[in-house]
Amino acid sequence: MKHWTRACLLSALVLPGLGQVVNRQFGKGMALIGAITLLFIAIFVKVLLDLAAVVGQAYVQTGGQPAGLSLPRVLEGIRHLDMTRLGLLVLMAIAVWAYSIYDAWKVGRYYKPPEGEKDI
């Protein structure tokens, strides 16, 4: 398998930034891994906070009766949420992922392992 193919596949399928590490761009790879990790954490926290708000609101509307807390009621609450921030976070994660693949391909095409070292 060619070096650039391996680097692209690692960035695309395993972890964005891993292709840069394979290309020996450790700083850029760690920055991309850190960025995608922070974005995934932010997305996860945003989803949990939104879900907690919707469930809390549905619980209050039912007068504190857990039996009144149903999936359709929660889904209705989710439909009324502002998803702008979540959408921006997802778009930023997609942009980091796409840049990671492109950069791994671009740099990997010209990569030559140092003398005496075997290619990863």
- How many residues in the chain? 120
For the chain, the structural domain boundaries read 3-109
Q: Does residue 19 surpass a pLDDT of 90?
A: no
How far is it, in rounded angstroms, from Cα 7 to Cα 74? 42
**Per-residue pLDDT, 120:** 57
State both tokens at 66: 């857990």
- Report the Cα–Cα distance between both ends of the chain, in Å, rounded: 11
Query: What integer is the mean pLDDT of 8-20?
Result: 83
pLDDT band at 117 (very low <50, low <70, confident <90, very high): low
Least confident of 37-41, 55-59, 72-76, 116-120: 116-120
- The pTM score is 0.79
State both tokens at 17: 């930034």
